[in-house]
């Protein structure tokens, strides 16, 4: 049975390594749903966080194949219940949304979001949460004419600490 898996891939900071990592998924016909690259607390060590929907058997094979790549130190595989994860979303609305008579600030507060910027032509809103939460706010803002919407990839930390030695 397919389910969502999050991989935290600990790597060196090498040019082209992310390309080699994504090729492993492409060759196995796996669609990457989310990808984030970030520095770690250790100098020149990076973490790629990749979300895919697949089977337990296939994700195990992918993890082993990734660990064979030069520059990859360790691959950790998690299911959602083993993680604390968030995504960041930005919504750009026309300034007319404020003048619509409906209190846009109330909608923003109801969704635990915040107004980042108000300009002469638009208002910019930020929401941090799970994908479902950011999607709910998008749906609530649709009647105001969302000009632009963008969501980051997942950032995640494991609930049980794992080390590179495991």
| Average pLDDT over all residues of the chain | 93
Q: Looking at the domain that runs over 86-151, which CATH code has it been given?
A: 3.30.70.1150
Tell me what pLDDT residue 99 has.
76
The encoded tokens of residue 105 equal 């600030």
Indicate whether 126 pLDDT > 80.
yes
Return d(Cα 154, Cα 164) in angstroms, integer. 21
Please check whether residue 115 is in contact with residue 108, taking contact to mean a CB–CB distance below 8 angstroms: yes
- According to CATH, the superfamily of the domain at 3-78 is ACT domain (3.30.70.260)
Please check whether residue 8 is in contact with residue 78, taking contact to mean a CB–CB distance below 8 angstroms: yes
In the chain, residues under CATH classification 3.30.70.260 are: 3-78
The encoded tokens of residue 15 equal 């040019």
Mean pLDDT of 153-161: 86
Q: Is 16 left (phi over 0), alpha (psi -120 to 50) or beta?
A: left
Instruction: Give residue-wise pLDDT tens across range 13-28.
Output: 999 999 999 999 999 9
**Of all residues in the chain, what percent carry a pLDDT higher than 90?**
86
In the chain, residues under CATH classification 3.30.70.1150 are: 86-151
The encoded tokens of residue 79 equal 């299911």
Instruction: Give residue-wise pLDDT tens across range 61-115.
Output: 999 999 999 999 999 999 999 999 999 999 999 998 887 777 888 999 999 999 9
């Amino acid at each position: 049975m397919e389910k969502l898996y999050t991989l935290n891939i600990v790597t060196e900071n090498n040019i082209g390594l992310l390309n080699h990592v994504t090729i492993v998924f492409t060759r196995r016909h796996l669609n990457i749903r989310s990808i984030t690259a970030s520095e770690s607390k250790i100098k020149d060590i990076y973490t790629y966080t990749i979300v895919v929907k697949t089977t337990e058997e296939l994700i195990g094979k992918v993890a082993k194949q990734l660990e064979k790549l030069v520059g990859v130190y360790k691959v950790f595989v998690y299911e959602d219940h083993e993680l604390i994860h968030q995504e960041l979303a930005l919504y750009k609305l026309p300034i007319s949304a404020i003048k619509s008579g409906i209190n846009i600030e109330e909608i923003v507060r109801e969704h635990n979001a915040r107004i980042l910027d108000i300009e002469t032509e638009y208002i910019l809103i930020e929401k941090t949460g799970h994908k479902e939460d950011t999607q709910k706010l998008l749906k609530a803002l649709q009647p105001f004419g969302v000009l632009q919407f963008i969501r980051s990839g997942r950032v995640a930390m494991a609930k049980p600490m794992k080390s590179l030695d495991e």
